[in-house]
Amino acid sequence: MKQISNLLNERLTKAISCSTPDRIPIALRIEYAAAVWAKLNFSEFALNPLKSSEALEKAYDDIGGWDAVDASWTLGTRWTKTEVAKVEISGIDFSGELPHRIIEFPVMKSKDYDVILKEGINSLMNRMMRRLGRKFNEDIERSVFNSFAPIYKHWIEDRGVPVLRGGMVRPPFVQFSMWRTWHGIAQDLLSRKEKVKEVSDAVWKDLVKKGENQSRIVGCNCIFIPCGRASATFLSEKLFLEYFFPHLKMIVKELVKDGFTPRLHCDGDWMPFLEYFRELPKKSCIIELGLETNFKKAKEILGGHICLYGNVPTKLLFTESPLKVKEYCKKLIDDVGHDGFILANDDIVPHNARFENVKMIVDTGKKYG
């Protein structure tokens, strides 16, 4: 199996190690905005990885380039072929301005915790996919990621642009909350909490192995870890410490030990929990915080320990002028400094974002970073 080396450039490597690079690195998570700018319909962008990458590359060149891209070319195919989720794509399943939508659906039953213990996580995924009228096995997943590999190679090797998403590892609580829905996982924490813990203990290493294998196939050492469903927006500190954080800590330590860079995607309010993130491996991770978390205070707590990623508001990109974007970026740089920081948009550049506003993030970062 392909060995993963450090595929991040010196600027990003210094930022992640909480050092001061020559300039603050800039990363943009452009998805459907690139489709609009390239005059590509949403269904093509979602389901054709090559066309999606070409649209992103056009945006990258038109804007003037930045330091790292997200793997937007994988998302629609991953959701529809390898993710246990009810996903609808604009132009195919519905008509409207939204590019896609994910329907909260209890595809996992309460009895399925025992299926995981007896048969393993892949066996349950097979069962759940059949419930959705789809097929899944490890060969299908491997084939999907093999189809992505040439695109990753183009960006990383041909263009010399790092990609900040290879494989993905959802911590067990986050994964179960998606499969069971919020209502289902809330019931489980009341009626079968020991079972939730037991199964979480049993599967976290399997989830790590799956994410690492995905990363090795595509040749990218940055692993995406969605955490938003465990924020203080949803969980008390007691539940956070009991059902989420122990497994997150083990996952991150395992990934770092194996030579990967974890990228924690943290929507919601994380202020009450940020101190705990100092227990994660030092100078080895990226944490992507949403607008509900005070970025300046986050830097005071996590500075020198974890690299912050963010957090230019999505709303600025379609409601305000380029000047407002510039002012926000300059203040953000002033607030968090030049060490351990990646300048980026908050979450996703929306499909209705103004090109000149997105470009202003890059221009401001290059000039003042």
What letter represents residue 226's amino acid?
P
Per-residue pLDDT tens for 44-79?
A: 999 999 999 999 999 999 999 999 999 989 988 999
Which pTM value belongs to this model?
0.96
Q: Tell me the C-alpha distance between 48 and 73, whole Å.
A: 8
Per-residue pLDDT tens for 25-34?
A: 999 999 889 9
Residue 347's nearest CA partner among 181, 245, 226, 170 is: 226
Per-residue pLDDT tens for 299-351?
A: 999 999 999 999 999 999 999 999 999 999 999 999 998 899 999 999 888 89
Three-state secondary-structure class, residue 173: helix
Hunting for tokens 């990383």 — which residue is that? 156
What letter represents residue 191's amino acid?
S
Supply the DSSP symbol for 26. Answer: E
Q: Residue 96's Cα: distance from chain center in Å?
A: 25
Model confidence at 292, pLDDT cuts 50, 70, 90, reads very high
Beta-strand runs (E) in 209-326:
222-226, 261-266, 286-289, 307-312
Tokens of 24: 């603050």
Domains in the chain: ranges and CATH: 10-368 (3.20.20.210)
Largest Cα separation within the chain, whole Å, is: 58
Q: How many CB atoms lie within 10 A of CB 20?
A: 13
Residue 70's nearest CA partner among 345, 284, 325 is: 345
